[in-house]
Amino acid sequence: MFKKLKNQKYASIAYYAVWVIALCIALVFVLNSLDNIWAYIRNLITAVTAFIYGFVIAYICNPIYKKLHTYVFAFIEKKKAHPKLRKTFSLIFTYIIFFGIIAIIVFSLIPSFGDNFTKLANNIGSYLNNAMVWVTDLFENLKINIPILDSQKIIDTLTNFLKELDLTKFATIILNTGVSIVQQIIYFVIGLILSVYFLMYKHSMTAKIRKLLCAMFSKKTYNRICEFAAYTDRTFGRYLMGAALDSLLVGTIVVVVLSILGYEFAPLIGVVVGITNIIPFFGPFLGAVPSALIILIADGPIKMLIFVIFILVLQQIDGNIINPHIVGATTGLTPIGVIASVTVCSHIFGFIGMVIGVPLFAVLTYIVSEILDNRLKKKNLPSDTKLFKNKDIYANEAFINASLEVEAMNLIEQQQDAVAMAEEAEKRHTLVMLKHEELLYAKAHPEEVVEEPVKKKDETVNDIDEDIVENELDSDGDNDDDDYLDD
């Protein structure tokens, strides 16, 4: 007996040793091939860019489509079922509203933005000269001598830099940038077409995904995956749409206030501040710095100082009043988590990573937190972080009492689950026996089975829209699982 236990002990040690060695080899391989793996991931992301654009557009248009389908065009099916006609009108008007909103924003900002940008580019020389004169006078008044502020030396330095500049490399960079922009436009157009199909067949696609999950996982795991998916939908939907609306409001306030105060490039500065405001934490600084420099060379230091004070006040109002009411509840990330999410995701995904970094990290944090809480619960340990502050936690009286409470709650839940499982098993057994008797009777008396009349070609089951089934299950004409964006 002792020899058998000893062999089992050595077998367990060998098993874990093999796993550790295998993991070390895999880690070394990953580290050595990190560049190749990262290049493969980038190529994969590029290959599915059109599908990403299509999914994002469909995700943005989905709330509009649901409102139109549920309320506006519900009259189409009051007397007779016309699911395809109802869906077609909902899709058409969804994209009319979507492009209408984009057109209003573009045509209200682009003309002023273009005029400001052209004026700034044409007069940049005189603006810089005025700024240089002001800075030189300032240092002369302060009796500070800085030779680098000599305008002639600056001009000579820029001339030498332009002479040494390799125009071939510069032209190659411009060409590659132009090709990349055209490629992204093509991907966007393809994604726009794909978004229509995503909206049209969203219920059939989600049904197939649920079917796959039910086949692959247990009922408990399936419910957990659906819970995580619902949380991801709520987090991304509320955060991104709220942040976009908040940035639009902040940009509009900047344009209005600066126009009233007589700033020369108010629309240009408003667009810069509005776009960068969607980036958490770093956004206000990224927008304020170039805007302050533009104001310094165009309007002078006094107006620049007024602008800086205005932006500081506006950011305080936005962070404490406007943003919480528009975006809603916080993501649960600490300031360090926000900085880490923006930094890491910007390195991986660029500007898009700055925007989606916070909700992405919030979802990952939620998933990890749920997994840790579940493991602690299985060990009859509390999940409250405050109880883990002491070094000797197992000797802490509050920790012990909380552990006992968790263990008692687990015992109650086990008893309740056992009773519920027994009732469900009994109910299911009864239903199975009834269905078994029905099938036996139908097999023994086939002449009593009434066949359904053959439907016409235009009324076949394949042509019936999924929304008929949805209307039977959900009174608002849509699935309850997709109602998170309506909150």
pLDDT tens, position by position, 160-179: 655 565 556 666 777 777 88
> Mean pLDDT highest for which of 177-191, 322-336, 412-426?
412-426
The first and second tokens of residue 448, run together, are 């009593």
> Mean pLDDT highest for which of 118-127, 231-240, 402-411?
402-411
Contact by Cβ (8 Å): 267, 112: yes
Q: Give residue 9's pLDDT.
A: 64
DSSP 84-145: HHHHHHHHHHHHHHHHHHHHHHHHHHHHHHHHHHHHHHHTHHHHHHHHHHHHHHHHHHTT--
Please report which residue ranges of 33-48 form alpha helices under DSSP H: 34-47
Q: How far apart are CA 186 and CA 178, in angstroms?
A: 12
Is residue 473 packed enough to be buried (19+ CB in 10 Å), middle (13-18) or exposed (0-12)?
Answer: exposed
Token pair 């406007």 in the structure block, residue:
322
Over range 468-481, report the average pLDDT. 42
Contact by Cβ (8 Å): 248, 282: no
- Please report, in angstroms and rounded to a whole number, the separation of the first and last CA atoms in the chain: 64
Q: How far apart are CA 272 and CA 113, in angstroms?
A: 10
Can you list the pairs that 336-340 forms with residues at least 24 positions away whose Cβ atoms lie under 8 Å?
337/361, 337/365, 338/280, 338/281, 339/281
Over range 435-457, report the average pLDDT. 68
| Residue-averaged pLDDT of the chain | 78
210 Cβ contact partners less than 8 Å away, ≥ 6 residues apart: 222
**Chain center to CA of 100:** 23
Compute φ and ψ for 392, nearest 5 degrees: -95, 75
* 73 secondary structure, DSSP code: T
Query: pTM surpassing 0.85?
Result: no
- Give the confidence band of 482 by pLDDT, cuts at 50, 70, 90: very low
Is residue 54 packed enough to be buried (19+ CB in 10 Å), middle (13-18) or exposed (0-12)?
Answer: buried
Is it the case that residue 386 has pLDDT exceeding 80?
yes
